[in-house]
Amino acid sequence: MISFISCSVGHPRQPETLLTQKEMDLARSVQEVIEEAMLRLARHVRQVSGERLCLAGGVALNCVGNGKILREGIFDQVWIQPAAGDAGGALGAALDTYYRHVDRPRIVQDQQDLQRSSLLGPSFSQSDIESFLSNYQYKATYLEDESLFRIVAKLIAEQSIVGWFQGRMEFGPRALGNRSILGDPRSEKTQSVMNLKIKHRESFRPFAPSVLRESVSEYFEMDSDSPYMLLVAPIQKKIRRKVSVEDQELFGIDRLNVSRSEIPAVTHVDYSARIQTVAEADHPRYYRLIKTFQQLTGCAVLVNTSFNVRGEPIVCTPEDAYRCFMRTEMDYLILGNFLLDKRDQKPLTNDVDWQTEFELD
């Protein structure tokens, strides 16, 4: 655990108000202190422990710090609990009870992630989804897999924003390809559109790339697994775009909006990205979608953000997904093998404004 001593820096910034240099300087300073603390702890642990590091706890969600630990080469391998924080603590308590108090054997398989991509939540069959759509008479088209992946990849390539609902729900704060909102990383407009019209949050917030595991080093300066979107790495220099002198002199949000690579929607101002690697064995359907997008466009990356609006939990059920779809400006919703076009849907009636239903983060 890392403790911080509170100090006075004036009144806290209110949501939606102008970002000033003070907020930027404060965020930068706190981040650098956290990174230094994480690196010192990691070096100490390496001296007294083994060559592999397992991270958990809320600070382990700091993917910039995690990336620095990895790049420093302090450990041979780094694994980060995808539900780091209170949720992961509950998981640890359950496992402790299972092994120590119920006397069940602990099975360890070297080099294999037994958290199974963190897809530990509820799932809904095609018949469940079909019953939901039929009960409410929502218009949808059923597509066989071959057509589904081809059509969805084409929609994303045409700059559509797509809600993607498949299989088991992810456990933890990150959507990993089963409860996700997807977009085209090549578009300079994707980040602002997804923030302002889909997530309803401030436009500077970055999005993460999902990249085929075998292609990660083509786009990013790393060649290791990052299945839980908890590592940040630099963008490869060969796909970076040079920033003009005029753009370098911009301030704040204007500077963030400058296109910096061939995948600008996921490239941060410092030419880094928060990466999710997608392996076929772990995510066969999500992998197939990205692979189809690559075959269509030459790009093995998708923008992936959690299927929710600001302040709302990630959607769990088909009904949750449909409600979120209709409350935002998403273009299409995929529920299993069913494709829903926003233009074919009737507006929700008697719907509660999500901004009054959920406390904004």
Distance between CA atoms of residues 354 and 356, nearest Å: 5
For the segment 98-122, what is each residue's pLDDT rounded down to a tens digit?
999 998 988 877 767 878 789 999 9
Helices 284-297/145-157 angle, 10° precision: 50
DSSP 8-state code for residue 141: E
3-class DSSP assignment, residue 333: strand
Please list the pLDDT of the chain residue by residue as tens digits (361 residues).
444 444 455 678 887 777 788 888 898 999 999 999 999 999 999 999 989 999 988 899 999 999 999 999 999 989 999 988 888 888 888 889 999 999 898 887 776 787 878 999 999 999 999 999 999 999 999 999 999 999 999 999 999 999 999 999 999 888 999 999 999 999 988 877 787 777 666 666 678 999 999 999 999 999 999 999 999 999 999 999 888 888 777 776 677 778 889 999 999 888 999 999 999 999 999 999 999 999 999 999 999 999 998 788 999 999 999 999 999 999 999 999 999 999 999 988 776 665 556 565 5
Distance between CA atoms of residues 163 and 340, nearest Å: 10
Q: How many CB atoms lie within 10 A of CB 1?
A: 5
For the segment 242-266, what is each residue's pLDDT rounded down to a tens digit?
888 887 777 766 777 788 899 999 9
What's the CATH number for 118-357? Answer: 3.90.870.20
Q: How many CB atoms lie within 10 A of CB 188?
A: 12
Burial class (CB in 10 A: 0-12, 13-18, 19+), 39: middle
> Which ranges in 162-297 belong to alpha helices (H)?
190-193, 216-219, 245-248, 252-256, 284-297
Residue closest to 266 by CA, chosen among 219, 298, 225? 219
Residues 6+ apart with CB under 8 A from 13: 19, 20, 23
Distance between CA atoms of residues 304 and 319, nearest Å: 21
DSSP 8-state code for residue 240: B
| pLDDT recorded at residue 357 | 61
H/E segment holding residue 306: strand 301-306
Specify the length of the chain in residues.
Answer: 361
| pLDDT recorded at residue 349 | 77
Domain residue spans of the chain: 21-114, 118-357
Please state whether beta strands 52-55 and 77-80 pair in parallel, antiparallel, or not at all (unpaired): parallel
> Which ranges in 143-251 belong to alpha helices (H)?
145-157, 190-193, 216-219, 245-248
3-class DSSP assignment, residue 63: helix
Sign of CA dihedral 83, 88, 94, 96: positive
SS3 content of the chain, % helix, strand, coil (to 5): 40, 15, 45
Q: How many CB atoms lie within 10 A of CB 239?
A: 15
| pLDDT recorded at residue 310 | 79
CA angle (266, 272, 275) in 5-degree steps: 60
Burial class (CB in 10 A: 0-12, 13-18, 19+), 243: middle
DSSP labels for 65-107? HHHHHHHHT-SSEEEE-TTTTHHHHHHHHHHHIIIIIS-PPPP
